[in-house]
Amino acid sequence: MKRPALFLDRDGVINVDHGYVHTPEGFQFVDGIFEVVATANQAGYLVVVVTNQAGIGRSYYSETQFHALTDWMKERFAERGGQIDAVYFSPYHPEHGIGRYRRETDCRKPGPGMLLRAERELDVDMGRSIFIGDKPSDMAAGRAAGVGTLLYLDGEANDEGCLTIKQLSQALPYLSAAPK
């Protein structure tokens, strides 16, 4: 039976985007993110991180370092009552990637590839799913993948029909009231 997912971008949504964050020392969690994830878990949502990681492609850090930080991040959520069910990442960049990382791919947002892969592998109900992102490329990926609700965290109103950070607190009751 298909389940809805809460899709989260990482940098700017889970952690403050300090630019190419790749160590626990540089990782600062966004206020309220632990509560959002725990509420989604309690409401029966899968929680899936979808993140561009061009820092790998630019050789600022390695895939091994990314995975180590991801494991550390998931442990912090578990300690606070939340679970990250899956993490999908794109290390590619069409212009600044080095070697095998320099390529165009639909797995890099704004392409929907990471979300569609999660849909297949995790049996996600995209129409009942939510994507919280902080960039127009997140919203474009969510729209292209058929995600039902897009929450746009930029602190400013926009004309794309997406919610703003001022409305993020509204996501918690919505998640709590969602059918399990």
CATH code for position 43: 3.40.50.1000
Q: Burial of 40 by CB count in 10 Å (0-12 exposed, 13-18 middle, 19+ buried)? A: buried
C-alpha span between 74 and 53 (Å, rounded): 17
In a domain, 151, yes or no: no
The per-residue pLDDT of the chain, averaged, comes to: 89
> Which among 11, 134, 138, 159 is annotated as catalytic?
11
20-68, pLDDT tens digit by residue? 999 999 999 988 889 889 989 998 999 999 999 999 999 999 999 999 9
Q: Is the peptide bond prior to 4 cis by the omega test (within 30 degrees of 0)?
A: no
Decide if 11 is catalytic: yes
Helix, strand or coil, per DSSP, at residue 28: coil
Residue 18 lies in a domain: no
Using CA atoms, how far residue 149 sits from 51, 126, 167, in Å, is: 18, 9, 13
- What local confidence, expressed as pLDDT, does residue 177 receive? 54
pLDDT tens digits, 121-156? 999 999 999 999 999 999 999 999 999 988 888 755
Residue whose structure tokens are 């700017």: 12
Number of folded domains that form the chain: 1
- Residue 94 reports pLDDT greater than 70: yes
Q: Which of 9, 125, 134, 154 is catalytic?
A: 9
Q: Is 90 exceeded by the pLDDT of residue 171?
A: no
Residue 107's domain spans which residues? 1-7+27-127
Between CA 127 and CA 55 the distance in angstroms is 31
In the residue annotation, 134 being an active-site residue is answered as no
- The sign of the dihedral angle between the CA atoms of 129, 135, 138, 139 is positive
| pTM of the predicted protein model | 0.90
